[in-house]
Amino acid sequence: MIKWPAKKIAFISSYVPRKCGIATFTADLISSIKLAGGKEFQPVVIAMQAGPEQQYDKPVKLKIRKNVKYDYVCAADYINVSDVDIVSVQHEFGLFDDQDGSYLNLLLERLNKPVITTLHAVLEEPPAPYFNSLIDVCEASDKVIVMNKRGIKMLRQIYSVPETKIELIPHGIPNLPFAGSDFYKRRLGLEGRKTILTFGLLNENKGIETVISALPTIVKAEPSILYIVLGATHPEVMRCEGQSYKFKLEKMVMKLGLKRNVVFYNRFVSNHELFQFLGAADVYVTPYLHKEQLTSGTLAFAVGAGKAVVSTPYWAALELLAQGRGKLVRFGDAKHIARSIIEILTNDSHFLSLRKRAYKYGRSMTWPKVGRSYWNLFHQLVSSMQMPFRHKVQVPAWKDPTYNKQQAYQPA
In this predicted model, what pLDDT tens digit does every residue of 115-148 receive, in sequence order? 999 999 999 998 999 999 999 999 999 999 999 9
Statement to judge: residues 196 and 331 lie in one domain: yes
Is a pLDDT exceeding 50 seen at residue 214?
yes
Distance CA 396, CA 116 (A): 23
Statement to judge: residues 273 and 329 lie in one domain: yes
Statement to judge: residues 311 and 251 lie in one domain: yes
Looking from the CA of 309 toward its CB, the CA atoms found within 13 Å total 33
Please tell me the predicted confidence (pLDDT) of residue 20: 85
Statement to judge: residues 348 and 375 lie in one domain: no
Statement to judge: residues 77 and 154 lie in one domain: yes
Average pLDDT of the segment spanning 296-307: 95
The CA R_g of the chain, rounded to the nearest whole Å, is: 22
Q: Could you tell me if 89 and 119 are in contact, meaning their C-beta atoms sit under 8 angstroms apart? A: no
| C-alpha triplet 341, 247, 338: angle, nearest 5° | 10
In a domain? residue 1 = no
Burial grade of 343 (CB within 10 A; 0-12, 13-18, 19 or more)? middle
CATH number at residue 211: 3.40.50.2000
pTM given for the model: 0.88
Q: Give the range with max mean pLDDT: 36-40, 90-94, 373-377.
A: 373-377
In a domain? residue 78 = yes
Please tell me the predicted confidence (pLDDT) of residue 134: 96
Last residue of a domain, one of 364, 379, 399: 364
Statement to judge: residues 198 and 99 lie in one domain: no
351: containing domain: 182-364
Average pLDDT of the segment spanning 383-400: 52
**Domain tally, the chain:** 2
Q: Which of 56-60, 88-92, 343-347 has the lowest mean pLDDT?
A: 56-60
In a domain? residue 100 = yes
Statement to judge: residues 227 and 344 lie in one domain: yes
Statement to judge: residues 84 and 138 lie in one domain: yes
Please tell me the predicted confidence (pLDDT) of residue 84: 95
In a domain? residue 203 = yes
Distance CA 376, CA 339 (A): 45
Distance CA 72, CA 306 (A): 41
Statement to judge: residues 152 and 247 lie in one domain: no
Is a pLDDT exceeding 60 seen at residue 315?
yes
Average pLDDT of the segment spanning 250-264: 97
Statement to judge: residues 19 and 103 lie in one domain: yes
3-class secondary-structure state, position 199: strand
Is a pLDDT exceeding 60 seen at residue 396?
no
Statement to judge: residues 348 and 394 lie in one domain: no
Name the nearest CA neighbour of 262 among 206, 214, 311.
214
Statement to judge: residues 143 and 238 lie in one domain: no
- Please write the tens of the pLDDT for every residue from 339-386: 999 999 999 999 999 999 999 999 999 999 999 999 999 989 988 875
Distance CA 224, CA 361 (A): 30
Q: How far is CA 203 from the centre of its chain?
A: 15
Which of the four pLDDT bands, split at 50, 70 and 90, describes residue 388? Answer: very low
Distance CA 71, CA 65 (A): 6
